[in-house]
Copies of this chain bind each other. A is one copy, B any other.
């Protein structure tokens, strides 16, 4: 009975069209061209490497796509238990008519060849979008992205600011900033003006959010202009910063971004808790981990200082979810956002979803984003989320609280899509 109830709730959620509010899609090459684009996703390469596949076999220069897939496939037997593997099979079945439930050394090649033909069709991107029910796909754009050559109404720009906040001491980043803004900052005022130019450029191109990922030890704070002036003068004249100065520069830039979000009425997506390059010998994008010892209390000053800025917050560690729930319950400008990275597996999604639905206003929950690099991933990832959402709505609301099925579905739609439109702005 419970499983037919879940199905009854799942179906309308599954058939509704979506906005994906956070991806890493390249709008100039959004869909996969070969199975290597799919299996090259770091979730597969890092798991295969973790299971024993040498990095050199995966990242050999000049490796042909088919050869790469052929090398990865034997290792899939070691990760077929993972949620990530289930996405792979679901993609192959949904998009390529794959009939098996395992991708093996015996069946991969025919799949490779047949899928190659399908992906070569000029309508492939459109077909994937249609089959996935995507109305909009939010991007992750470098601060110096020209934002040209694609439809920003569909592929919606988001200003990603990790480079500005954490890598400004790098010569290359400074040069990119100078080129993008046609300015050479040498003080806090100059740097603020340069950042303003970036916001103006992005606002002119339908930007819907500013975004950043943050390490566990980051603590936002206002930095006095005088101190910032010295550091900015120093770093832009090519001198090295001390650790303390670099930290203050990060704080200054971050605070300035929040200020600009306020002025330009942009939500500021915070993805909190990642340590970069923990496993330096790991595969591309498979080197980062985390430290659960992080608290949203570190963001107290920020949340208080910018009451008009909406902060959709993602946390990397599931142990941070209760804080996220509680801070969203108290602060009007904090909203829960998706299930990020190491927390994006069913066991954690279900727990997080349950707690959020029980204690955060229903208008303040962004249910899910795919975080995908290639379009094909939205379908299985959102399907995973929709199954869990349907289960929680069935168990906690229809059974547990005697809601009608219609009320539960309505709540589900709000979490899945309605809040994305309300918080970031609707389509078009």
Q: Is the CB of A400 within 8 A of B346?
A: yes
Chain B nearest Cβ from A125, distance in angstroms: 29
Residues of B within 8 A of A426 (CB): none
* CB contact under 8 A between A83 and B46, given known A278-B300, A279-B303, A286-B330: no
Quick check: is A248 within 8 A (CB to CB) of the other chain?
A: no
| CB–CB A326/B362 < 8 A | no
**A184 interface contact, C-beta 8 A:** no
Q: If the complex has contacts A81-B358, A322-B348, A361-B51, are A46 and B329 also in contact, measured as CB distance less than 8 A?
A: yes
Q: In the bound complex, how far is the Cα of B257 from the Cα of A415, in angstroms?
A: 48
Residues of chain B within 8 A (CB-CB) of A289 are: 296-297, 323, 326-327, 330
Is A23's CB within 8 Å of the partner chain B? no
Give residues of chain A (314-349) contacting chain B, Cβ–Cβ below 8 Å.
317-320, 322-323, 325-332, 342-343, 345-348
| Copies of this polypeptide in the complex | 3
**Contact for A347 among B296, B328, B358, B363, CB less than 8 A:** B358
Q: How many residues of A contact B (CB 8 A)?
A: 74
A107 at the interface (CB under 8 A from B): no
A-B contact pairs, 15 of them (CB 8 A): A46-B329, A50-B330, A51-B332, A80-B362, A81-B397, A101-B402, A278-B297, A279-B303, A279-B304, A282-B330, A287-B330, A291-B295, A292-B322, A293-B295, A345-B355
Is A226 positioned at the interface, with any CB of B under 8 Å from its CB? no
Given contacts A47-B361, A297-B275, A303-B279, A347 and B342 within 8 Å (CB-CB) = no
The answer to whether A50 touches B297 (Cβ under 8 A) is no
By the criterion CB–CB under 8 Å, are B328 and A317 in contact?
no
Residue of B whose beta carbon sits closest to that of A277 = B300
A281 touches B297 (CB 8 A): no
- Is A279 within 8 A of B358, CB to CB? no
Query: Are the CB atoms of B323 and A292 closer together than 8 Å?
Result: yes
Residues 37-65 of chain A, each 1 if its beta carbon lies under 8 Å from chain B, else 0: 00000000011011110000000000000
B361 touches A82 (CB 8 A): yes
Interface code A76-106, partner B: CB below 8 Å = 1, 0 otherwise? 0011111110100000000000000100000
A13 at the interface (CB under 8 A from B): no
